[in-house]
Amino acid sequence: MRGTGGNRGTGGNEIARLRQSAGHTQQSFVLTFRQEASRLGVDASLSVRQLRRWECQSPPPLPHPSQQVVLEALFGIPLSDMGFDVPEHRVPVSAPIGDTEGVGRRTFVADAAALAATAVVSGGSGPRIGAGDLVRLRRRLDSLYRTDHSKGSVPAMAEACRIEHEVTRALGAASYTARVGRQLQTILAELHGHRAWYGYDGGRLAEGRAACMEALAAAQLVDDPLLQVSVLETLTLLAVRSDRAWEAASAVENAYRLARQAGAGHTVHLIIALRDANVATHVGDLTAARRALSRAVSRQGRVDADVEVPGWARFVGPFEVDYATADMYVRAGQPRRAVPFLRAAVSGIGGDLLRNSASYRVRLAGVLLEAGEAEEACAEMTTALDACGGISSPRLLSKVEGFRHAVARIDSAAARECGDRIRETVRGGIV
């Protein structure tokens, strides 16, 4: 199969080097190869086993002509420069692609001196962005969850904007491989999703919705359906707060569809079911709310079977199911039935979720007040205020202020003392 008069390669290690410099594992390269073949309209396939033979044998087995087309398109260099012994008749001739002499469709790949430098897609002529930079950015991105949960959305938003500026600048001015570029775009999509949540928490609903649209577009561009689900989950909350029930319902339906197509696990489906319950509770369809909560309970019971859970979905748990159930009972005008579910939610929420823990306690205090348990409500609010220290969350502050207005209508020493404590806390900027 190998012609004696052809161009002689340097062995299988060269294609391994090219693959690694492009930022691919063997598995991801095989997937990219198949995608490129589809784009080119070429009937070519590749398995991990065959790729390993190319990389480990010296000289490596010669790829089929259709595989050659895809490899040369992916790396931008002739097959002979990838370490293969190529017969003369399969070595492309160096000439411009628009040459009037008709020297062949793939002649542009033969100028190895110009194209072999890298298998890189450059966003610009600036510094090179590599795997180490991605690890650093991903670490900062993941820390946003901790900042939001422990200190609130205000400081988290400030850090998100700093990271977003850095990522956007890198995409426009740095050089990177296609794989790294896709990861940068994915990080940018996640940052838009974070900003959407911060808009929700801060009561800036229009800003949050605009960030959702940016996040959805970015997630679609990188073809990440589960990332789209995470954005739709936030869009549901924003739409409910904006009294756009039709939009919230559509977001839930699309989230279900994407999750099914992606083969998402029980944890992701649990979150969607909870948003489904939020929408149904908001519009007063308590039958639909119970149905969605039943689905949530079923999914919650099977989350341990999930092999992999997206980072954005790792903070859900039974406490959210209890909280959503309590919401349903409050909407039904039955605050007393909501109280045990809220107590369970407060008891079950993790210690790391400080902002949500404080928010749950404030909600419990408000429902206790609705149920006629003023003294117990004030005691719960005092505990909540003790937990609010250092948390900057406009949504949490709004809940605390709402309780203060409600408790002001009650003529008792405990109510007056609680109102005074809230005023001192808010005035001191603790919340």
Position 267 in a domain: yes
Cα–Cα distances (Å) from 87 to 7, 15, 65, 84, 349, in that order, read 7, 18, 11, 10, 66
Q: Are residues 217 and 228 in the same domain?
A: no
The predicted model scores a pTM of 0.71
Q: Are residues 229 and 219 in the same domain?
A: no
Q: Are residues 110 and 196 in the same domain?
A: no
pLDDT in the model for residue 208: 93
Answer with the one of 292, 308, 324 that is the final residue of a domain.
Answer: 308
Q: Are residues 17 and 112 in the same domain?
A: yes
Answer with the one of 161, 196, 223 that is the final residue of a domain.
Answer: 223
Residue span of the structural domain in which 381 resides: 333-431
Torsion of CA 364, 369, 372, 375, to 10 degrees: 90
Position 322 in a domain: no
Q: Are residues 252 and 179 in the same domain?
A: no
227 vs 311: CA distance, rounded Å: 10
- Confidence category of residue 201, pLDDT binned at 50, 70, 90: confident
Position 58 in a domain: yes
Q: Are residues 283 and 216 in the same domain?
A: no
Mean pLDDT of 298-305: 92
- Across all residues in the chain, what is the average pLDDT? 84
Answer with the one of 85, 118, 151 that is the final residue of a domain.
Answer: 118
Position 4 in a domain: no
Q: Are residues 96 and 181 in the same domain?
A: no
pLDDT in tens, 213-228: 999 999 999 999 999 9
For the cut 60, the answer to whether the pLDDT of residue 109 exceeds it is no
211 vs 94: CA distance, rounded Å: 48
Position 327 in a domain: no
Total number of domains in the chain: 4
Q: Are residues 294 and 342 in the same domain?
A: no
